[in-house]
Chain A
Amino acid sequence: MNRLTKRLTDLKKQNKKALVAYLVAGDPDIETTLQLMQLFIESGVDVIEIGVPFTDPIAEGPIIQKAHDRALAKDISLTSIFEMVQKFREIDNNTPIVLMGYLNTFLSHKNLIEENKKDSVDSILVVDIPGELNLADYGIRNQNINTISLISPTTNKDRIKSIAENSTGFVYYVTLRGVTGASNLNINEITNNIEEIKKYASVPTLAGFGIKSPEDAKLLSSCSDGVIVGSSIVKMIEENSQTKEFDRIGQYISELKQAIS
């Protein structure tokens, strides 16, 4: 069974919410990313979402944009990311790995995805496509990799059904109108929309984009199956990338985990 599906199913059985943590591969370098992934797991992360750097990340706010730039300066490509994840699998064969990125990078590496050595990657999330777009139609396919579609506050009700059905990993509910790391959460709207999604989705619905504190995480976990935290972690990575002392991140993730438990 796909690691992501298994992990989310197990959590659901235990009546627990999922904590998904994001970092950009190669920010500040591949060795540190592997080290941070270990730290994530030790601190209670259920799913790791790896940002695939792109030159033109139109859905990202300034914090994650800069992380993409730092990674690109190290020539990080999807090839080096697959190698990194294979390396990670030698020490951890249970934690689900989601790759989050932009269509053009995945289009340029169809063979790599089809091959997916050691079944290392579990899921792909492409940010710059409509939710019902089937990646397989564009040659991005592997039966052991599922896909995650986004639904936003502006998604029409009549499209929610087809998007939810197209999403085989989980449904990613974008909690706000804006880029990653923005701050205009409207909890009533979020609750109503996630309820609507749950009518159609056979996979869990997780919430992300504007969560930047344990309080936000607690609030959003109450109406979803879990939360995705990105910008606030990436900011801490940036601030500590010189010293490479990341205790603060471990502490922060533990607090997030506590908040949604």
Chain B
Amino acid sequence: MKSNKQSLPDKNGFFGDYGGKFVPETLMYALEQLESTYNNLKDDENFKKQFYKDLSEFVGRPSPLYFAKRLTNHYGTGSIWFKREDLNHTGAHKINNTVGQILLAKHMGKKRIIAETGAGQHGVATAAVAARLGLECHIYMGAEDIQRQSPNVYRIKLLGAQIHSVDSGSATLKDALNEALRDWVTNVDDTYYIIGSVTGPHPYPMIVRDFNSVVGEELISQSQNLFNKMPDAIVACVGGGSNAMGAFYPFININETRLIGVEAGGEGVQTGEHAAPLNDGTPGVLHGALSYLMQDNSGQVKDTKSVSAGLDYPGVGPEHSWLKDSGRAEYVAVTDDEALKAFHEVSELEGIIPALETAHALAYLDVLMKEFDSNSNIIVNVSGRGDKDINTVAEIDGIKF
């Protein structure tokens, strides 16, 4: 029997006050169909067998829990562990969710797959699973993100998917989501929309969380095996919040583990130029869910700023809003500069180039490690690898290839 905190969302898709299904009427049928398919399949033995088989053989799970020895020495206290989602096939945690959702799409007989992407990781992960099943695949990506994540754009094309550049609004992740929703409204009969984060209308925040919870489930047994107790903290970056939610969810009732989400502070939360709705937003409705949102007094969504395309989003998954209000998780922010510093530091100390998104979680160790003694175990969810970010970082450092 799951405890109350793990039994959410309720039947209407709410986590406390947050979540819901705020979508145009045309999509209601598709959401109901998805919800009933998922509810029928999620405990089905064959479905689970297939999901875990794919995670093992296609993704390469379980991902290791790695002791970051030199980084630990650098701080001189506690033990820092990396959950190596960067080692997954396609280079990030995003593949866990797409492997699950493509099975739902197949079961529902959908012939056409669409997805939005920010950093491109979800686009690559979606294109990969669609290719594997021979399904037509369309990826919506903001024009600005296409510029700064060009290696992933090419990867998506190599995998046989079609990229649609989105020029509207701020030409980033939020606008890619708008365009994907418009595609879905138009092609709802034959199209499956693989949302890439714990955002969007119910049942997506639940489905994406559940598929990505394999991360947290592995962490429970790995912690037991490697240091014989539960971790003192798990730190993860939060954009929409899927990597954090997947790591946090199995720990919701393990009260000795602090859950810490790190948002993109951009130029600094106090400057207003950031992508940190949990730190500096108010509840509002965007992309089908009620959640913390960066908005002005007129209810217009604000433009965001972050060096990391994957965190450059004005909203956040509704379950995070609930975890924030209930106090179960803590949400902080680090700036672009702090993230970039961590990006370099961890590359040099550990031989691991983290994604710029992950670098935000790593940067927060500067603050966090001061709060822990030498017996502590701190896990950082290394959500993805940084190969995709080398152009961005090189440009900032003034290096031309």
Question: A residues near B, CB below 8 A?
Answer: 54-61, 65, 69, 72, 77-79, 102-109, 127-131, 133, 149-156, 159, 163, 174, 177-179, 182
Contacting residues of chain B (167-205) with chain A, CB-CB under 8 angstroms: 168-169, 174-175, 178, 181-182, 185-189
Alpha-carbon distance between A4 and B178 when the two chains are bound, in angstroms? 32
Question: Given contacts A79-B298, A107-B299, are A130 and B23 in contact (CB under 8 A)?
Answer: yes
Q: Number of B residues contacting the other chain (C-beta, 8 Å)?
A: 35
A residues within 8 A CB of B32?
A: 156
Q: Which of B57-65, B281-289, B326-334, B342-350 lies at the interface?
A: B281-289
* Among A55, A59, A109, A182: residue with most chain B CB under 10 A: A55
The smallest C-beta distance from B368 to any residue of chain A, in angstroms, reads 34
Alpha-carbon distance between A106 and B285 when the two chains are bound, in angstroms? 10
B residues within 8 A CB of A127?
A: 24
Contacting residues of chain B (21-72) with chain A, CB-CB under 8 angstroms: 21-30, 32
B168, B285, B301: which contacts A65 (Cβ < 8 A)? B168
Contact in complex: A130, B21 (CB < 8 Å): yes
B255 at the interface (CB under 8 A from A): no
B25, B26, B300: which contacts A105 (Cβ < 8 A)? B300
Alpha-carbon distance between A175 and B301 when the two chains are bound, in angstroms? 29
B295 at the interface (CB under 8 A from A): yes
| A–B pairs, 16, beta carbons within 8 Å | A56-B174, A58-B181, A58-B287, A65-B168, A78-B299, A107-B299, A108-B298, A109-B299, A130-B21, A131-B25, A133-B22, A152-B24, A152-B25, A154-B26, A177-B188, A178-B26
B297 at the interface (CB under 8 A from A): yes
Question: Given contacts A58-B178, A150-B25, A174-B25, are A78 and B298 in contact (CB under 8 A)?
Answer: yes
Contact in complex: A59, B185 (CB < 8 Å): yes
Tell me what chain B mostly uses at the interface: helix, strand, loop, or mixed: mixed
The smallest C-beta distance from A117 to any residue of chain B, in angstroms, reads 18
Other 11 A-B pairs with CB < 8 A, given A104-B299, A177-B186: A61-B182, A77-B298, A105-B299, A105-B300, A128-B285, A129-B23, A131-B25, A152-B24, A154-B26, A154-B28, A178-B26
The smallest C-beta distance from B80 to any residue of chain A, in angstroms, reads 39
Alpha-carbon distance between A159 and B25 when the two chains are bound, in angstroms? 11
A residues within 8 A CB of B26?
A: 152-154, 174, 177-178
Contact with A along B257-292 (1 / 0, CB 8 A): 000000000000000000000000000111110000
B residues within 8 A CB of A149?
A: 25
When C-beta atoms are compared, the residue in chain B nearest to A53 turns out to be: B300
A residues within 8 A CB of B29?
A: 154-156
Contact in complex: B24, A150 (CB < 8 Å): yes
B residues within 8 A CB of A105?
A: 298-300
Alpha-carbon distance between A87 and B189 when the two chains are bound, in angstroms? 45
Question: Given contacts A54-B300, A58-B181, A156-B32, are A128 and B24 in contact (CB under 8 A)?
Answer: yes
A residues within 8 A CB of B28?
A: 130-131, 152, 154-155, 159
The smallest C-beta distance from B187 to any residue of chain A, in angstroms, reads 7
When C-beta atoms are compared, the residue in chain B nearest to A153 turns out to be: B26
Alpha-carbon distance between A152 and B300 when the two chains are bound, in angstroms? 27
The smallest C-beta distance from A33 to any residue of chain B, in angstroms, reads 17
A residues within 8 A CB of B169?
A: 55-56
How many pairs of A and B residues are in contact by the CB < 8 Å rule? Answer: 114
B174, B185, B288, B297: which contacts A108 (Cβ < 8 A)? B297
B residues within 8 A CB of A128?
A: 22-24, 285, 288
The smallest C-beta distance from B46 to any residue of chain A, in angstroms, reads 28
B21, B178, B186: which contacts A56 (Cβ < 8 A)? B178
When C-beta atoms are compared, the residue in chain B nearest to A58 turns out to be: B181
Contact in complex: B295, A104 (CB < 8 Å): yes
When C-beta atoms are compared, the residue in chain B nearest to A57 turns out to be: B178
When C-beta atoms are compared, the residue in chain B nearest to A150 turns out to be: B25
Alpha-carbon distance between A77 and B21 when the two chains are bound, in angstroms? 25
Contact in complex: A108, B299 (CB < 8 Å): yes
Contact in complex: A154, B30 (CB < 8 Å): yes
Alpha-carbon distance between A54 and B298 when the two chains are bound, in angstroms? 9
The smallest C-beta distance from B5 to any residue of chain A, in angstroms, reads 25
B residues within 8 A CB of A58?
A: 23-24, 178, 181-182, 185, 287
The smallest C-beta distance from B31 to any residue of chain A, in angstroms, reads 9
Alpha-carbon distance between A56 and B174 when the two chains are bound, in angstroms? 8
When C-beta atoms are compared, the residue in chain A nearest to B288 turns out to be: A128
Alpha-carbon distance between A131 and B27 when the two chains are bound, in angstroms? 11
A residues within 8 A CB of B299?
A: 54, 77-78, 104-109
A residues within 8 A CB of B174?
A: 56
B residues within 8 A CB of A154?
A: 25-30, 188-189
Contact in complex: A55, B24 (CB < 8 Å): no
Contact in complex: A103, B24 (CB < 8 Å): no
* Among B25, B178, B301: residue with most chain A CB under 10 A: B25
Alpha-carbon distance between A59 and B22 when the two chains are bound, in angstroms? 12
Contact in complex: A179, B285 (CB < 8 Å): no
The smallest C-beta distance from A51 to any residue of chain B, in angstroms, reads 14
Alpha-carbon distance between A57 and B179 when the two chains are bound, in angstroms? 10
A residues within 8 A CB of B27?
A: 154
A residues within 8 A CB of B298?
A: 77-79, 105, 108-109
The smallest C-beta distance from B166 to any residue of chain A, in angstroms, reads 11
When C-beta atoms are compared, the residue in chain A nearest to B187 turns out to be: A177
Alpha-carbon distance between A131 and B23 when the two chains are bound, in angstroms? 10
The smallest C-beta distance from A163 to any residue of chain B, in angstroms, reads 8
Alpha-carbon distance between A137 and B278 when the two chains are bound, in angstroms? 25
Alpha-carbon distance between A121 and B201 when the two chains are bound, in angstroms? 30
A residues within 8 A CB of B25?
A: 130-131, 149-152, 154-155, 163, 174
B residues within 8 A CB of A65?
A: 168
The smallest C-beta distance from B21 to any residue of chain A, in angstroms, reads 6
The smallest C-beta distance from B299 to any residue of chain A, in angstroms, reads 3
B residues within 8 A CB of A72?
A: 300
A residues within 8 A CB of B30?
A: 154
Alpha-carbon distance between A60 and B286 when the two chains are bound, in angstroms? 15
Alpha-carbon distance between A132 and B28 when the two chains are bound, in angstroms? 11
The smallest C-beta distance from B22 to any residue of chain A, in angstroms, reads 5
